[in-house]
Structure formats: structure tokens, C-alpha cells
Amino acid sequence: MGHGSSKEENGAAESQSKGSRRARLKQRLHLHRRRRSRSNSPSHSKRLDAENFAGIALLTLVRAEMKFKDKWLACVSFGEQTFRTNISDQTDKPVWNSEKKLLLEKNGPHVARISIYETNKMSRNNLIGYCEIDLLEFLTRDSDSNSNSEILDLLDPSTSDKIVGKISVSCSVEDPIETEKSFARRILSIVDYNEDGKLSFSEFSDLINAFGNQVAANKKEEMFKAADKNGDGVVSMDELAALLAIQQEKEPLMNCCPVCGETLEVSDKLNYMIHLTLCFDEGTGKQVMTGGFLTDKQASYGWMFKLSEWAHVSSYDVGLNSGSSANHIVVFDRRTKRLVEELIDEKIVLSMRAIYQSKLGLGLLDTGAKDILQSLSEKQGKKMNSVESAKDIPKFVEFFKDQINLAEVKHPLEHFKTFNEFFVRELKPGARPIAYMERDDVAISAADSRLMAFKSVDESLRFWIKGRKFSIQGLLGKDQCSNAFINGTLVIFRLAPQDYHRFHFPVSGTIQQFVHIPGCLYTVNPIAVNSKYCNVFTENKRVVSILSTAEFGKVAFVAIGATMVGSITFSKKEGDHVKKGEEFGYFSFGGSTVICVFEKDAIEIDEDLLANSARSLETLVTVGMKLGVSKKQANIGLPNIEKCVLQD
């Protein structure tokens, strides 16, 4: 009896030990599952065409050389993902040795931005330097050296012609077979409990059981014996990794990802391998950069967003469906194909929400706020034209230092005698190349702006404009609105205060007429555009010009005033024949908007612009980028869009 009881106790203890060990294993595998589900990273979730697969790049940030005062961290933004390193404890030459695997597609994002932030617990994180690296070009260029390391210049965020430091990086493409082996080694290291570099059968059994594949569980003894060449009951990590790589080709061991829990399509080897490699890298590893962020600014304040997530407070999202629920505005940079954050003063955001996103705010608008906005804009306009206002230029540049490139500006800062002179600044010749300049059947972006494009007004109302009474007739006015415009294509160019505020012709043609329409000066920020209580575009002060073109028919070009915009100035007159890309005019101080309305079936808008707009996601564009092609010539082939998007 006593002997039997001892066996039962030993068995219970062994069972409890196994249970505890498996629980620890499960906890380690699922350590970052919550963070991964929050990031919704497209590299893990979207299906990839094998023909578009370029490889998995391993990017490592080694160290930076700058003049440091406090601790530092680095962020890497690539496509719609951003990752951050640990905070460096060294102030002279911070060493990170942090790595991240990134999925490279032939038609996907190529440019990674590396941002360096100064950080401490008492003050705001400060962007001090950045660089960009075209990973696909870096990895495919001819080189006599076998080294994949490079030292890159770190540029001043406010001007790209000033170097503030250097950063050492390395980048390589993993061989697919080595990727599988590397993945197997990493996941197996989790169950190497005694960390001796070898796995016992008990440790291996725990791993297979954690995968939850019953078929594999029934074959674990067979697989283990195949790896245990000398029969000593243990196998090395490399031996077992090689065995599992072979087994994955025959019969995958996992039905779902052990990190994020997503069901895996075992018949699709390419996506299976990519998902496991990238997802598992994000969930484990001491030197792997932390993911789950959309922009580098969000990543630099990672601890804040952990708190907001814990408190169930909406912080960031891709796209903007309701201005009242958005704390920040995230837009898609067309040139680099990554997400960036638009800077807005927090107090202004709160004020705009109070006015434009509530019935109380609507009441204020109806009882005098319109007159207040008009008076405020006039006073602010006078102030910005005063000599005293010039002192505000450096502060403005500092606030938007990573979004205003002084190297592109035609004149140095000391040239501007008032703030408004700087606000309507000109750029150096060639700073904005015009796509397909020789082809009048190709339309271009009219402004440095955040762009939304819709095939019809109905689509714009569904995805972006929430005003209950918006219409093309209300926008253009009865006399200018022909039947062809009513069901036409709508393109909205929203200029933020930090943007270059001169607008240009999107098409070539003749200016047929100008029509000045009086109105209010509501803000054109998405918080107001997405308000159901007012109709920003049809109620604001605006100037409608009708362009007569050979390739697109009539095109309506609407320059819309906004809060703080005292005037809209045109550099052309009625009857002028104009070429696309030529300057049309400029807005004085404040944010503002240009809307182009094309006649029905006149233009085929680029698909990437339509796709982003369907997600309620604005696309950051610059003057001269390709917008679309005349449907008269849509059957004529054009080079890949990257060639014209990346030229500037």
C-alpha cells in the first residue's frame, strides 16, 4: 500500500511538474500575443504572391556616433510598421545591436527610415537625427566587398543638407532554408530548460504538445530518434533544427502560430514560412526591436501607448472614419510607402472636437462662431504680415522640423521679413519634378498635401466627407456645375500648416473663368470634414476656376479658404493657357484645401490613391506626383508608378 501510494505521489508530482513546465512554455510562447494582435501588421496577415516575394531582410542597428546628452533610442519605420530599440545606456556611442526582419516585396515598400531620439524620464523625446535606406537597392547592388555593413549619415530633421552624426547598420537577405533552420533553433531554445544547448526527449515532447498538432504528437518519438544519431538520448539544436526544417516540408507541425494564434494555411509554404519567421521574431528575443507601432513618434513614446491600451483608450488607428474618435492623424507617405503622423497642437485638437463634433459646438457655430472665426483670421493675417512675426519662424520650423526640409527652400530663413513671407515660401527649381511632363494626358498632384481621391461623390460621402448636405452643386455653385461634374471624380488636396503652400495646375489647358464664392472659414482638418454637423467644403470661402482641357474635358479647380487663411492669391488670369506643374497661386497663413472635380469617366485615378482613400487613409503627396491618366489614353501603357513617385 505504502509503495503504491509513493508511486501515486511521484506520478502526481511528475504530472504537476509537467503541467507547470507546460504552463511556463505556453506563457513564453504567448508573451507578446496581445501586442501582436494590436499591431495588426500587414506583413503577417496579408497573403503574398510568390512572384512578388523579394526576400526577408535582416536589418541590424549596430551603433550611432553623435553628440549625446541623455539616453537614446532608435526607431525603424518600414511600410505600415514601426519598431523601436531598447534605450541605450551609453551617452558617447550608444550600442544597440538590435535587429529586425522585414518582408521585402518587389512592388512593396523599399525605403526604411531610421530615426534617433534623445530620451529621458523627465522631458519629451526629441528627434535629433534620421536617415533613409532603400533596402532593396542596398541588397541588390553590385559590390566587390562581401560586407553587408555600412555607415550612414544621420541628417538634421529640419534640413537634409546638414549631417549631425553617423549610424552603423548591417543588412542581409536570409536564405529561405536558413530562415527555416534559424526559426527552428529559436523556437527550440525556449524549451531548452537547462540551457545546455541540447534537448532531451522530455523537452522535445513539451514543444510538440504545445504546437497542438495531434498527428505530429503521435510521431514525436520517431522524429526524435531520427535526430538522435548516436542514441545518447539528447540531440544538438542544429541537428534538431535540420530535422524540423525537413519535417516542415513533408508535414507542418503547427496548425496555428504559437505567438499570435492565427490559423496557418499549411498548403501555402511561402506564407507559412514568412508568417512564422516574422511573427516569432517580434514575440521573442532579447535584441529584437519591439513592434506594434504605426509611426516612429508613437514608438518613441511606447510606454504611453501601453498605458492607453491598458485603459482601453483609442490612441492610433490606420485611417480616420470619425474625427471625434481620433487622437492623432496618421497618413500614408506615397514616396516611402510608410505611415507618418501629422503634428497638431493638442489644445487645438480638443478645441476642434468641442466645436465640430458636438451638438453644442453646432449651436456655437450657428450663434456667432462664424463671425468670430472670420475676425480671428483677419487679425491673425495682419499679425503674420508684421515685422514682429518673423521671430515666430524659428519656433515654427523647430516644431515641424522633420516635416519642413529647409534644403528645398529657395531662400535662407534670414531672407523672410515676416512670417507670411516664409509661409508662402518658394522652393528651389527642380525641387518638385513633374511626372511625364511631356504628356498632357497624365494628371499630377496639385499641391504638397494629404490627398483623398474618389471615383464619385457617393464614395467620398461613404469614406470621408460626413457633412449631411455636401454635393458637387453646393461646392461649385449652380452656374459652374454641369451635369458631367455631378457624377464626376473628386480629388481633395488638404494642406497642413507645415506644407509648401503654393498650388499648381494638375493638368494643361486654358483658364475659362474664376468665380469667387463668399463663405465661412471653418478649419479643413479631418476632425471638421468628418463632422456631421457642418459642411466645410460647401460653406467655406472659396474660388472656383474652370479649366478647359483637350484630354480631360472641363476640370473644376476649387481653392478653399480655412481658419487663419486670410487670402487666396492667384498668379494666373482668365484666358491664360497653362501647362501642368506651373504655379497657379498660394494660400496665406493657415491650413487650406484644393479640390479638383473631373467630369464623369474623364480620368482613371491611380489605384494606390483610391485604395488608401477607401480605407479613410489620406496619402501624403507632393506637387508633380502622378495622379491619374485620361481615360481617352488609359490603354497606353505607362511605366511603373514607383518611377514617377520616387523621382522626387
CB atoms within 10 A of CB 168: 17
SS3 454: strand
Digit-coded pLDDT (tens) for 480-538: 777 889 889 999 999 988 899 999 999 999 999 999 988 776 666 665 666 665 667 77
What is the C-alpha separation between 592 and 584, in angstroms, rounded?
Answer: 15
SS3 155: strand
Q: Which of 460, 466, 492, 479 is nearest to 558 (CA)?
A: 492
pLDDT for residue 205 is more than 70? yes
* In the block, residue with C-alpha cell 509503495: 3
Residues of the chain with pLDDT > 70, as a percent, come to 66
Q: Which three cell numbers stand for residue 594?
A: 484644393
Q: What are phi and psi of 554, to 5 degrees?
A: -80, 140
pLDDT recorded at residue 311: 36
pLDDT for residue 384 is more than 50? yes
Q: Which three cell numbers stand for residue 544?
A: 472656383
Q: Which of 594, 282, 609, 592 is nearest to 446 (CA)?
A: 594
Q: 517 or 192: whose pLDDT is higher?
A: 517
* Orientation angle between helical segments 176-189 and 269-283, nearest 10 degrees: 40
pLDDT recorded at residue 460: 82
Give, in degrees to the nearest 5, the angle at Cα 195 between 192 and 198: 60
pLDDT recorded at residue 489: 95
Beta-bridged to residue 119, according to DSSP, are 71
**What average pLDDT does the segment 199-219 reach?**
77
Contacts of residue 286, Cβ cutoff 8 Å, sequence gap at least 6: none
**What average pLDDT does the segment 172-187 reach?**
69
Residue among 448, 501, 613, 630 flagged as catalytic? 448
Lowest mean pLDDT among 162-166, 432-436, 595-599, 600-604: 162-166
Digit-coded pLDDT (tens) for 44-66: 456 777 788 888 888 999 988 87
SS3 170: strand
Q: How far lies 129's CA from each of 149, 153, 201, 311, 443, in Å?
A: 20, 9, 51, 32, 35
Digit-coded pLDDT (tens) for 559-594: 987 655 557 899 999 999 999 999 999 998 766 889
Sign of the alpha-carbon torsion through 343, 347, 350, 356: negative
What is the C-alpha separation between 262 and 254, in angstroms, rounded?
Answer: 11
Q: How far lies 531's CA from each of 352, 494, 590, in Å?
A: 10, 16, 20
pLDDT for residue 436 is more than 90? yes
Average pLDDT over the chain, rounded to an integer: 76
Beta-bridged to residue 330, according to DSSP, are 341
Contacts of residue 177, Cβ cutoff 8 Å, sequence gap at least 6: 245
pLDDT for residue 24 is more than 60? no
pLDDT for residue 131 is more than 90? yes
Q: Which three cell numbers stand for residue 362?
A: 453646432
What is the C-alpha separation between 646 and 621, in angstroms, rounded?
Answer: 11
How many residues belong to the chain?
A: 648
Q: Which three cell numbers stand for residue 523?
A: 478649419
**What average pLDDT does the segment 100-114 reach?**
89
CB atoms within 10 A of CB 308: 15
Domains of the chain as residue ranges with CATH: 52-173 (2.60.40.150), 177-280 (1.10.238.10), 314-635 (2.70.70.10)
Beta-bridged to residue 409, according to DSSP, are 427
What is the C-alpha separation between 553 and 603, in angstroms, rounded?
Answer: 10
Highest-confidence range of 94-108, 302-316, 434-448, 633-647, by mean pLDDT?
Answer: 434-448
Lowest mean pLDDT among 140-149, 417-426, 541-550: 140-149
Q: In which element (H, E) is residue 160 found?
A: strand 159-173
SS3 62: strand
| 592 is an active site residue | yes
pLDDT for residue 265 is more than 50? yes
| 504 is an active site residue | yes
DSSP state letter for 368: I
Edge-to-edge strand ranges of the sheet holding 502-504: 502-504, 583-587, 568-570
CB atoms within 10 A of CB 145: 7
Q: Are 238 and 185 in contact (CB under 8 A)?
A: yes
Q: Which of 368, 377, 370 is nearest to 519 (CA)?
A: 370
Lowest mean pLDDT among 84-88, 527-531, 630-634: 527-531
pLDDT for residue 350 is more than 60? no
Beta-bridged to residue 511, according to DSSP, are 547
pLDDT for residue 40 is more than 50? no
In 299-337, the DSSP E strands lie at 329-333
**What average pLDDT does the segment 377-388 reach?**
71
pLDDT band per the 50, 70, 90 thresholds, residue 5:
very low
Per-residue exposure over 260-269, b if at least 16 CB sit within 10 Å of its own CB, e if not: beeebeeeee
Q: How far lies 289's CA from each of 58, 60, 292, 589, in Å?
A: 12, 9, 10, 41
Q: Are 581 and 434 in contact (CB under 8 A)?
A: yes
Highest-confidence range of 59-68, 122-131, 404-413, by mean pLDDT?
Answer: 404-413
pLDDT recorded at residue 473: 87
Q: Which three cell numbers stand for residue 312?
A: 482601453
Q: Which three cell numbers stand for residue 89?
A: 545606456
**What average pLDDT does the segment 446-474 reach?**
83
Q: Which of 350, 357, 351 is nearest to 322 (CA)?
A: 357
N- to C-terminal Cα distance for the chain? 85
Beta-bridged to residue 578, according to DSSP, are 509
Residue among 110, 296, 504, 613 flagged as catalytic? 504
DSSP state letter for 496: P
Beta-bridged to residue 165, according to DSSP, are 154
| 448 is an active site residue | yes
Q: Is 200 exposed, middle or buried (0-12, 13-18, 19+ CB in 10 A)?
A: middle
Residue among 592, 613, 616, 630 flagged as catalytic? 592
pLDDT band per the 50, 70, 90 thresholds, residue 293:
confident
What is the C-alpha separation between 521 and 562, in angstroms, rounded?
Answer: 5
What is the C-alpha separation between 378 and 576, in angstroms, rounded?
Answer: 31
pLDDT for residue 322 is more than 90? no
Strands 329-333 and 619-621: parallel
Q: In which element (H, E) is residue 620 found?
A: strand 619-621
pLDDT recorded at residue 462: 78
